Structure 1
Amino acid sequence: MLKRDFTAEQMMFRDAYRKFLQQEIVPNMETWREQGIVDREAFRKAGEQGFLMVWPDEVFGGLGDDDFRFEQIILEENQYALTGDWGSTLHSRLIGPYLTRFGSEEQQKRFLPKCVSGETILAIAMTEPDAGSDLAGMRATAIDHGDHFLLNGNKTYISNGINADLVIVAAKTDPTNDPRKIGLFLVERGAEGFHRGAMLKKMGQKAQDTAELFFENVIVPKENVLGDSSSGFIYLMEGLAEERLIAAVGSLAMAQKAFDVTLEFTRDRKLFKRSLGDFQNTQFKLADLRAELDMQQVYVDHCVNVHRQGQLTAEDAAKAKLLTTELLCKVVDEGVQLHGGAGYMDEYPISRLYTDARVTRIYAGTSEVMKLIIGRDLYRNEAVPFIDRDMP
């Protein structure tokens, strides 16, 4: 068993969050998966108990502790409870920090308290039908009209798209002269010209509401612009390392869960009057997976610690995201195979884990994009060998 680095306070937080999931979230997950959306009350209950947004200052209702390990605990416990498609981290740690990193004091006072309490649910709208990982290819525009911007465009595959009360929308602000100038705009529920499509049906993660969003001449007042209206591309890039670390933590926790349910199944399953786990083939496959999981856990925990010091690079985050998501898909595939016919039945957790896992190699940047990021870094002039010959 690997020794991991969590404080006593964080271990108490883990126990409390685990109980919260068992009491408030787990009993409702099947209903939410069937309806394709989590009840808004889940966000409010999490907010009431301090589990929704930990990092904001106490003046906004948070705990004022920015230690990423709190979110790591939330991600891990959600996967172990099979509640990962609730997606609270999307609201809490992936989108919420945009308000403090780039928002004005007035914006923070206006929006953060209700985000912390769960009254306001967040979404971010970047992806378009013809622009996913390539943000420069987006077509949405926000044209300056003096006291406001006029927003037009379509977004798709937006998580929390139905539930969201506040959407951060990325749009080009100078599409003719400089297509890399992108702004981030706060669009509130009920804004005239803001429409939502029907919930999109997905392969997995079915409780996470996903939708298309449409913006037709939406007037966005200047006070709803995040930071500089031409620096959104830089803002989005700044948050990508943490976003990919979030993906890595969640994917690895899901892989650990898939391994555990598979190991338990092979201990109980009888084949030719023997336990499936007694066969050398089973033991070798699970031994390989156990070793890979442990090694990647060490690296992910290292990335978390580096991130806490503000030193996580885009390249190291890409490595974590690439390897954990690829390993996850390997673990769930082996898990289904070792379950046999049972693995194809939704009554067994491995079936749900299999379908939930596939998108992890796509969101937050595809595996191919992660390889591009890592590969380009290898050919930079300042790149240094892993072992520096000048080291003492």
Structure 2
Amino acid sequence: MTASDISVIFRRFSTLNVGVVGDFALDLYFTLQTQTGERSLETNRDVFWGSHPRASLGAAGNVVQNLVALGVSNCRVIGCLGNDLFGREMHGLLTRLGVDTAHLRTLETGWDTCVYTKPEVDGREASRIDFGTANTLSDAFFSTVIDDLEQALRDLDVLIINQQFAHPLLDKNRVAALNALISRFPNVRFLADMRDVGPLIRGALLKVNTAELAKFLAIESPREPDFAWCVYHGNALRQQTGGPLLITRGQAGMLYLDDHGVEAVNGLPLRGELDTVGAGDTVVATWAACLGAGVSPADAVQLANLAAAVTVQKINQTGTASQSEILQLHQTLTNSINYDQRNAAGVPSGTAHPFNQ
């Protein structure tokens, strides 16, 4: 794939209508100093100091950030947030991105906006304090979410389904309502990234990592799952879901399985410190945009691999990959290795492998 090929694909993204439903969260980063020498006058306990706070969209919100970074200008979100300071910050971040938040419902009581706090001590992430991950959404309000989703689907090219937490929005008892909607909108492409209930989805492309693949099949995952392991067990999961499967393998790359076979790429040769936070969201957003734009799986797997490589090089942040960053990395790789030769080193013959490590 050449830079011109990628640019042509990017131009198609600008006309897409993409929706995201699921667990929207806020990532709250700050520097934490625990050795301050200060004690509280009221409690006589140690006082910690926080500094440099910054908030970023997380979970389904980071999928949206990545869509916008990729040039998808028409994004719609469907979900819930709380009537609290974190919810107001999340809404503001989405609004500044130009996202349609008409179906992002604010619950006045009984719901804390989902937040991952990410304190950094001496350059490393310390123990988190999370909010909202044990929320419980009533069945009545979930019906409202489904009604909102049905209305949104009439105008969408692609819907991304995100399930991050065990309880807040989607659980095993609610997937059936999603499946019913999927069957009613055959012209919409569906992509699901679901940590706990993925095998229950029908009519959607399912994205998993190797650990999730093993969990869904109730098998033990080897320390470094090889290509053959992923294909064999990926097809076993596909027999359950009946749809295509996208498997991310970290630094080993990714592969896509459907009724026509396998498309695979190895990981790219990256140097320096890497941070995987947000990389899965980048893959989901890139693949969803490719689905809507009619990009072939062979090209989509290459582009998603490039985008993920951009994100993992961003340290201590909820990463995204923009068009310019992807093209810049492509140019760097083209200059440093024989990038466009399809050398299938590390991937069995008969599979697509565009990157030469």
TM-score (norm 1): 0.29
Of Structure 1 and Structure 2, the greater strand share is in 2
**Which one scores higher on RCO, CA 8 angstroms, separation ≥ 6?**
2
Bigger CA radius of gyration: 1
TM-score (norm 2): 0.31
Of Structure 1 and Structure 2, the greater helix share is in 1
